[in-house]
Chains A and B, each alone.
Chain A
Amino acid sequence: MFIERGPKAGWIGLFAGLLFVVAGVASAAADGRPEGIKLELSPRVCTLASQDESCDTEVTAHWRAPNDESLCLLIVDQPQVKRCWENHSEGVYTVRLVFNRDLLVELRDPQLERVLASEAISVIREALRLRRKRRQPWDILS
């Protein structure tokens, strides 16, 4: 079934869209977060086999911004990791880390007060697959 919309419905939709965009920009401006900073992590997930205790891997963080920014990269629960840039529009940082739960990487302002962008590496534990052993009352040891 085809429903033809009148010109009135189109104007309402356009108005709602504009309202949504304006609200988003106003929100970002209000908390002082620079727009468009993108942070990418590699790897995105770490999968632990049943016998593994923790992830031991090289983590690469790559960020980009439309304008020059001064910011610092931090990792939650890894206080030894801190890397800062001054007036850069892009940065890459690689570090070897050992972790056993989700790793949260943050870009903050130089005063480390505001979070400008954040991404996480998820730790996925391979579920142990179990099955019932044979019931062996006939067996002498069982």
Chain B
Amino acid sequence: MSRSLRFIALATLFCSGSAWAEESSCSSPSPECAVVGRWEISASFGVGQRSNPVENRSNTPLYVIPRISYYGKRVFLENLDFGFTLHEDDRNTISVLATPGYDRAFFFRSDLQNIFVAGGTALPTGAFVPTQGQEFEVSERHTTYLVGPEWTFGYGWLAGQLNALREVTGRHEGYEVRGALSAPLLQSKGSLTASAGFTWKSAEVVRYYYGVRGLYEPGAAFNPFVKVRYSLPVSDRWSVNAFAQYERLGSGIAESPVITEDHVTTFFVGVAFRVY
């Protein structure tokens, strides 16, 4: 069993333990609880940036980050993610999720994922010229969607998310496993939360985005990340938010000839306003 698969198995085993405090259910609208049938629209205004590990690509500035969500009795929409909830109790939620492949975000600056910012890494496009001077064609990268089961859970102070996804838009038919755990480090008027997680991308995904035909045919990649986030509610509608994330690129991506850095860093400091 590879190191990355062992990590996934261990994380699943760790999270499925039952020796955690009981999670309370929703009794009033809050940042954790949505009113069924009501849209929520908010926007964060501030200063931030996501680095771009791809050669000759500039970093993505973050000034305005909108957020739209809707929760029905079973269906939900969170920015570009949408899905159907099969089972929900106080601790666990099992859903079928449709979510975009995030790698395209650096390909087109106008990509929706550069507006509705989420996790993920960059990709190159066009012709790639290696240091030797020989030119290789880099395939077109299209918008992709992945579908699969999602398990989210909360056991006491620990929250987790595990997705097993397959590309369904007919571009590369690869797989992704996304998982993360978060826990509050500080919780008074504001809250400081630390998260750690990973994205495992199958060889098909990595080749589609980071491969160079005839030159570089990578295998699967495992990207771990750590993140800290601070949020301070100022009023019913306003809050101060800051976050920083460091994502290490798996060797299948980092060793690609189109990649110049083996990590992606993202940070943002600003205020969030709940419009509706």
- Residue numbers of A with Cβ under 8 A of B are 50, 128-142
Contacts and interface: CB of A to CB of B under 8 A. Distances in A.
A140 B119 contact: yes
Given A130-B28, A131-B71, A137 B33 contact: no
B117 A140 contact: yes
B227 to A, nearest CB: 7
Given A129-B37, A140-B119, A134 B180 contact: no
Interface string B226-262: 0101000000000000010100000000000000000
B193 to A, nearest CB: 8
Contact of A134 (B28, B37, B152, B229): B152
A14 to B, nearest CB: 55
A136 B27 CA distance: 20
B33 A131 contact: yes
Contacts of A136: 78, 152, 161
Interface in B4-57: 25-29, 31-38, 44
B119 A139 contact: yes
Chain A interface mostly: loop
B118 A50 contact: no
Nearest to B38: A50
Nearest to B198: A138
Chain B interface mostly: strand
B178 interface: yes
Contacts of A135: 93, 152-154, 159-161, 182
A140 B69 CA distance: 15
Interface of B: 25-29, 31-38, 44, 65, 67, 69, 71, 73, 76, 78, 88, 90, 93, 95, 117-119, 150, 152-154, 159-161, 163, 178-182, 195, 197, 199, 227, 229, 243, 245, 266
Given A137-B181, A138-B197, A132 B159 contact: no
B50 to A, nearest CB: 9
B33 A130 contact: yes
B29 A137 contact: no
Contacts of B195: 137-138, 142
A131 B36 contact: yes
20 contacts: A128-B28, A129-B36, A131-B26, A131-B36, A131-B71, A132-B26, A132-B93, A134-B95, A137-B160, A137-B180, A137-B181, A138-B180, A139-B78, A139-B161, A140-B117, A140-B243, A141-B44, A141-B67, A141-B118, A142-B195
A128 B35 contact: yes
A132 B32 contact: yes
A139 B117 CA distance: 9
Contact of B197 (A132, A133, A137): A137
Contacts of A128: 28-29, 35-36
A137 B152 CA distance: 9
A142 B118 CA distance: 9
Smallest CB-CB A-B distances: 9 pairs: A137-B182, A137-B180, A130-B26, A138-B180, A129-B36, A135-B159, A135-B152, A137-B195, A130-B33
A140 B152 CA distance: 16
Contacts of B245: 140
Given A128-B29, A130-B28, A136-B78, 8 more contacts: A134-B76, A135-B153, A137-B181, A138-B195, A139-B161, A140-B118, A140-B227, A141-B44
A130 B118 contact: no
